[in-house]
Structure 1
Amino acid sequence: MATPEPLRPRLCCLVRGEHGYGFHLHGEKGRRGQFIRRVEPGSPAEAAELRAGDRLVEVNGVNVEGETHHQVVQRIKAVEGQTRLLVVDKETDEELRRRQLTCTEEMAQQGLPPAHDLWEPKPVWTHAGSLGSKDGQKVHCRHQSPMGPALPRMAAPGSTTHFRRVAST
């Protein structure tokens, strides 16, 4: 069984053919952005590996995610005879959104940056307090979630809780 290709945006460089670039662009109701609807067989778009369902991110190095259909078409036509399209397939788009990453041309060349375990300890806060311990020893919590620093649990009545920032390891 072949291993799947790693998720990454694709930079498609198209040279206009006798019948144009050979793809149909459209917006989808309820979804932000412009999408490739159809790629003509034997077209420059097919040769550049543009695929139906791809979402268009950049045209000739300019982000078009917030632009209208008309604006995007004008950007494609602005450079005569050729165009560079940065696109993402559905899976890559979902991964970028999940990781809150902005799609770039560098990602098309180098791939997505390595994913880090969001629960991997990134020591940012130290919690020092007795938390009801009988011997008065301090408890040090070293955890940060993707939602921010961990909050203290309810301490025993009469105990104190202090937070101070510490260096990351």
Structure 2
Amino acid sequence: KDGIDNPALSLAEDTDGEAAGEPRFYLLSKGSAETFGFCLHEELGGRGHVVGQVELGGLAQRRGLRDGDRLLQVNGRFVDHLDHQRVVQRIKASGNQVLLAVLDGDSYAAAKALGRDLAQLLPADVRPRLCHVRRDKNGFGFSVSGPEGTKGTFQLSVRHGGPADRAGVPTGSWLLELNGASVRSCSRAQLARKLKQSGSKVTLLVASGAVEEFYRLRGLQVPAAAADASWLPYKARELRMVKGPGGYGFLLKEDDCGAGAIGQFLWEVDAGLAAERAGMREGDRVLAVNGESIEGLDHQQTVLRIRAHEDRVTLLVIDPASDEFYRSVRLGDPRAAGRARLWGGSQPQTRVGRSLQGSRLAVELHEPRNSPPRCSFPAGAVPSAVPRGR
């Protein structure tokens, strides 16, 4: 009756099944033209990350998120202790799918008043695992079993010491994706063909029995966005640089980075200067500056981030091969992605290397001639609220 008389109630899908006072888990999956349908606020006094402005009939409201919920986890990682901007960046970097764990406001306040460790309210690890397996002369080192005649249900037996074991595939785990594509609709014969077509290497998204059960009991699909990628051979690198008399010694250039996105790339690394000594390689893409994602920043804003500390900077970068790998398994943006194109023709670039005045960083903006006026953006890298999922 309430659902009939109150349209707002009829829109909410009861998918969480959690008791009052316990964390609730929601997997939000949107299309590229859709939004998550909520904002994230920060209250004064350290009262957590607050869900607000939940759109009536929007994705978040349909899944069950409520105004006043406190966000505890993003993609299986505890975030209550993080500063607000980093939490916003984690949600944005998740792309079109994100797994959230929340606690209602009253329960959150009560737990804080009692001094409870909120991380203890959550399961230890709800993340699936991404593993990259290279075939040896005996194969990939795993076999597949499952109910006869049932599609998409595949359990892996792993040979001890074999390629799959060395790549981190747990024996008894469930196969969810193969090379970035779901296997939910695959038969045993179709899966065998896909494995054969993979050649000498294959990337698997797998979940242990406990992780698979966690999602199944809540009616949730296991999200690739929440995967533990620590077993992958492809990783981002951290470059720590202290500027010398010749500056840092590299060129920062904005360019396409695939799928219509824009990124900031490193080129013309000067021999013997700080960038080369830190291990910078031409073609690396910048993911973060001084521990903060550059997701959403344009070229000029990224330069200002690099210049924020006059004599030192730390860049998180990824090489082209690793970048391409993450895109191939639908994790094409491991930390950040450029969004705004400021010029329609050739891209802006900045020389980061020559000293102009003492220890100040030299910045020479090279812009195309006869380019249209530069767009004006508000100060600050990331807004204080999740901008409706964009």
TM range (shorter): 0.5 to 0.7
Structure 2 residue aligned with 1:106: 123
Letter in 1 for 2:59: P
Which of 21, 43, 46 matches 1:28?
43
The runs of 5 or more residues in structure 1 that have no matched partner are: 111-169
- Based on CA coordinates, which of the two structures has the bigger radius of gyration? 1
Please say if 1:38 is aligned against 2:53.
Answer: yes
Query: Which structure 2 residues correspond to residues 136-151 of structure 1 after superposition, within 5 A?
Result: none
Q: Between the two proteins, what is the percent identity of the paired residues?
A: 36
Question: Residues 28 and 99 (structure 1 numbering): CA distance in 2 closer, same or farther, change over 3 Å?
Answer: closer
Question: Residues 31 and 101 (structure 1 numbering): CA distance in 2 closer, same or farther, change over 3 Å?
Answer: closer
Structure 1 residue aligned with 2:25: 11
The runs of 5 or more residues in structure 2 that have no matched partner are: 1-18, 125-213, 218-390
Structure 1 residue aligned with 2:356: none
Query: Which structure 2 residues correspond to residues 1-169 of structure 1 after superposition, within 5 A?
Result: 6-17=20-31, 18-97=33-112, 98=114, 100-103=116-119, 104-106=121-123
How many angstroms apart in 1 are the aligned matches of 2:118 and 2:41?
Answer: 22
Question: Residues 94 and 33 (structure 1 numbering): CA distance in 2 closer, same or farther, change over 3 Å?
Answer: closer
How many angstroms apart in 2 are the aligned matches of 1:30 and 1:101?
Answer: 18
Give per-residue Cα distances to partners, 1:50-86, cap 9 Å, x unaligned.
1100111111111111222221111112222110111
Native 8 Å contact 1:34 1:55 kept in 2: yes
Q: Which TM-score applies when normalising by structure 2?
A: 0.25
Letter in 2 for 1:31: G
Question: Residues 99 and 71 (structure 1 numbering): CA distance in 2 closer, same or farther, change over 3 Å?
Answer: closer
Query: What SS does the corresponding residue of 1:84 show, helix, strand or coil?
Result: strand
Query: What SS does the corresponding residue of 2:87 show, helix, strand or coil?
Result: helix
How many angstroms apart in 1 are the aligned matches of 2:47 and 2:79?
Answer: 10
How many angstroms apart in 2 are the aligned matches of 1:62 and 1:40?
Answer: 25
Instruction: Give the aligned CA root-mean-square deviation in angstroms.
Output: 2.4
Query: What SS does the corresponding residue of 1:26 show, helix, strand or coil?
Result: strand
How many angstroms apart in 2 are the aligned matches of 1:6 and 1:73?
Answer: 26
| Structure ranking higher on relative contact order (CA contacts 8 Å, 6+ apart) | 1
Structure 1 runs (4+) deviating above 4 angstroms are: none
How many angstroms apart in 2 are the aligned matches of 1:6 and 1:33?
Answer: 19
Native 8 Å contact 1:33 1:67 kept in 2: no
Q: CA deviation at 1:25?
A: 0.7
Query: What SS does the corresponding residue of 1:8 show, helix, strand or coil?
Result: coil
Letter in 2 for 1:15: S
Give per-residue Cα distances to partners, 1:85-116, cap 9 Å, x unaligned.
11111222134332724344439x79xxxxxx
How many angstroms apart in 2 are the aligned matches of 1:81 and 1:87?
Answer: 19
Q: CA deviation at 1:10?
A: 0.7
Q: CA deviation at 1:41?
A: 1.2
Native 8 Å contact 1:11 1:105 kept in 2: no
Structure 2 residue aligned with 1:167: none
Q: Which TM-score applies when normalising by structure 1?
A: 0.54
Structure showing the higher helix proportion among its residues: 2
